[in-house]
């Protein structure tokens, strides 16, 4: 288990809080800088090597990218016409994907129906903890994503159930720590707790980058026996493509204030669209490589 990623996460939150007391706008810019830097270093690269995970190694890269993009485009169109359904699908497969990765990290594989439910519940506990510890932001973003006025319609229910959901989420994760005795899950709780002190997108990124992306990257590196340099070389074309998209969004946002206000929701839609094919490939990868993954 690499302790530096947790130290960096803690230090980043500390800097954010110090900056916020001095200048909230400076703190916001710092948080966006940390998020983008983290995504470029490990968040996006861990998904940018999906072509290395394909079953048919002889398949042309162009053909692979085409299939990948077809899934992304179809899901993006689904978001436009069926936003609520797309949001539910996103939460479900993200929960399973996060949970499966956490279980792989502690050497628990998808070998039974219970293991599938366990992965789903673990990932859902992580997501619900982040969502319900940022109630107001979450309601606003869910309303923007779904096209329904959750912010006003369900605000009272959301707030009244907030404490129970948070407690249940923590209890389930703590239960996994007790029955597995794995330190990585203690670090997971630490990330979730320090995330309560920062905005939603920053909190989600702390987990997504510092825990999920790093673990998945190391799982792939170990299984394929590839050096860091080789992994980054393979990831670089797609990472640069993502960087281009970030730059385009930034400059577009500077000239479109309404778009800038909904940047968080667009961030999650973008993440959802590119993560669906990634989720499918990673699940197949974990099933194929159900041997022991060491803790990093």
> How does pLDDT run across 32-62, given as a tens digit for each residue?
899 989 988 999 999 899 888 876 666 677 8
Instruction: Look at residue 79 in the predicted model and tell me its pLDDT.
Output: 87
Q: What is the mean pLDDT of residues 118-141?
A: 92
**Which carries the bigger pLDDT value, residue 20 or residue 151?**
20
pLDDT score, position 252: 56
Q: pLDDT-based confidence at 294, cuts 50/70/90?
A: very low
pLDDT > 70 fraction of the chain, expressed in percent and rounded: 86
Q: What percent of the chain has pLDDT over 90?
A: 46
Rounded to the nearest integer, the mean pLDDT of the chain is 85
pLDDT at 213 over 90: yes
Res. 122: pLDDT tops 90: yes
60 or 69, which is more confident? Answer: 69
- Residue 216's pLDDT is 94
Q: Is the confidence at residue 210, as pLDDT, over 70?
A: yes
Rounded to an integer, the average pLDDT of 147-160 is 74
Split at pLDDT 50, 70, 90, the class of 292 is: very low
What sign has the CA pseudo-torsion 8, 13, 17, 19? positive
Provide the pLDDT for residue 57.
Answer: 60
Find the mean pLDDT for residues 9-38.
93
- pLDDT of 273 reads 85
């Amino acid at each position: 288990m690499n302790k530096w990623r947790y130290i960096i996460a803690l230090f980043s939150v500390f800097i954010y809080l110090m900056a916020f007391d001095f200048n909230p706008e400076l703190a916001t810019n710092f948080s966006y800088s940390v998020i983008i830097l983290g995504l470029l270093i490990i968040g996006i690269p861990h998904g940018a090597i999906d072509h290395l995970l394909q079953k048919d190694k002889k398949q042309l890269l162009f053909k692979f990218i085409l299939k990948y993009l077809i899934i992304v485009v179809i899901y993006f169109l689904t978001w436009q016409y069926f936003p609520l359904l797309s949001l539910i699908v996103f939460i479900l497969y993200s929960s399973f994907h996060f949970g499966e990765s956490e279980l792989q990290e502690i050497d628990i594989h998808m070998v039974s129906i219970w293991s599938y439910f366990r992965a789903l519940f673990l990932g859902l506990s992580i997501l619900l903890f982040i969502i319900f510890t940022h109630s107001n932001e979450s309601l606003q973003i869910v309303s923007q994503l779904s096209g329904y006025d959750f912010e006003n319609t369900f605000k009272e229910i959301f707030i009244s159930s907030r404490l129970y959901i948070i407690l249940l989420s923590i209890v389930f994760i703590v239960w996994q720590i007790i029955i597995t005795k794995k330190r990585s899950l203690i670090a997971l709780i630490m990330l979730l707790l320090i995330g309560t002190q920062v905005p939603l997108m920053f909190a989600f990124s702390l987990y997504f980058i510092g825990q999920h992306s790093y673990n998945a990257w190391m799982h792939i590196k170990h299984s394929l026996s590839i050096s860091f340099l080789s992994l980054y070389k393979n990831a670089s074309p797609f990472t640069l493509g993502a960087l281009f998209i970030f730059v385009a969004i930034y400059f577009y946002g500077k000239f479109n204030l309404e778009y800038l206000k909904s940047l968080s929701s667009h961030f999650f839609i973008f993440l959802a669209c590119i993560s669906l094919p990634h989720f499918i490939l990673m699940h197949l990868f974990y099933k194929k490589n159900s041997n022991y993954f060491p803790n990093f």
